[in-house]
Amino acid sequence: MGEVLGIHHMSAICGPAQENLDFYTGVLGLRLVKLTVNFDDPSAYHLYYGDGLGQPGTLLTFFPYPGHPGRPGAGQATVTHLSIPLGSMPYWVDRFRRFDVDFDRPNSRESRETMRFRAPDGLLLEFVAGREYRPPERRPGTEIPDENAVGGINAVTLIERELTPTRAILENVLGFRLVSEKNGRFRFAVGDGGCGKVIEVIVDPDGLSSRQGHGSVHHIAFRVPNGSVQAAIGLVAGDNGLKVSPVMDRDYFRSIYFREPGGVLFEVATDSPGFLVDESFESLGSGLRLPKQLQELRPKIERSLPKLELR
Q: Give the pTM.
A: 0.95
**DSSP single-letter state for residue 161:** S
Q: Rounded to 5 degrees, what angle do the CA atoms 205, 67, 301 make?
A: 125
Q: What is the pLDDT of residue 281?
A: 95
Dihedral of alpha carbons 80, 227, 265, 169, sign: negative
d(CA 88, CA 91): 5
d(CA 170, CA 35): 31
Among 155, 157, 158, residue whose Cα is nearest residue 196 = 155
Ranges of residues in the chain with a pLDDT under 70 are 1-2
Cα separation values, 166 from 188, 199, 205, Å: 11, 11, 13
Q: What is the pLDDT of residue 1?
A: 58
d(CA 110, CA 130): 10
Residue 143: CB atoms within 10 Å: 8
**Helix (H), strand (E), coil (C) string for 134-154:** CCCCCCCCCCCCHHHCCCEEE
Cα atoms in the 13 Å half-sphere on the side-chain side of 210 = 25
3-state secondary structure (DSSP) of residue 249: strand
Tell me the average pLDDT of the chain.
Answer: 94
Rounded (10°) CA dihedral 62, 79, 155, 183: -170
Q: What is the pLDDT of residue 280?
A: 95
Strands (E), 130-225: 152-160, 177-182, 185-189, 198-203, 216-224
3-state secondary structure (DSSP) of residue 295: helix
Contact status, residue 111 vs residue 247, Cβ threshold 8 Å:
no
Rounded (10°) CA dihedral 48, 55, 29, 47: 0
| Cis ω for the linkage preceding 291 (within 30 of 0) | no
In b/e form, how buried is each residue of 60-95, taking b as 16+ CB within 10 angstroms?
bbbbbbeeeebbbbbbbbbbbbbbbbeebbeebbeb
- For the chain, give every domain's residue range: 6-304
CATH code of the region 6-304: 3.10.180.10
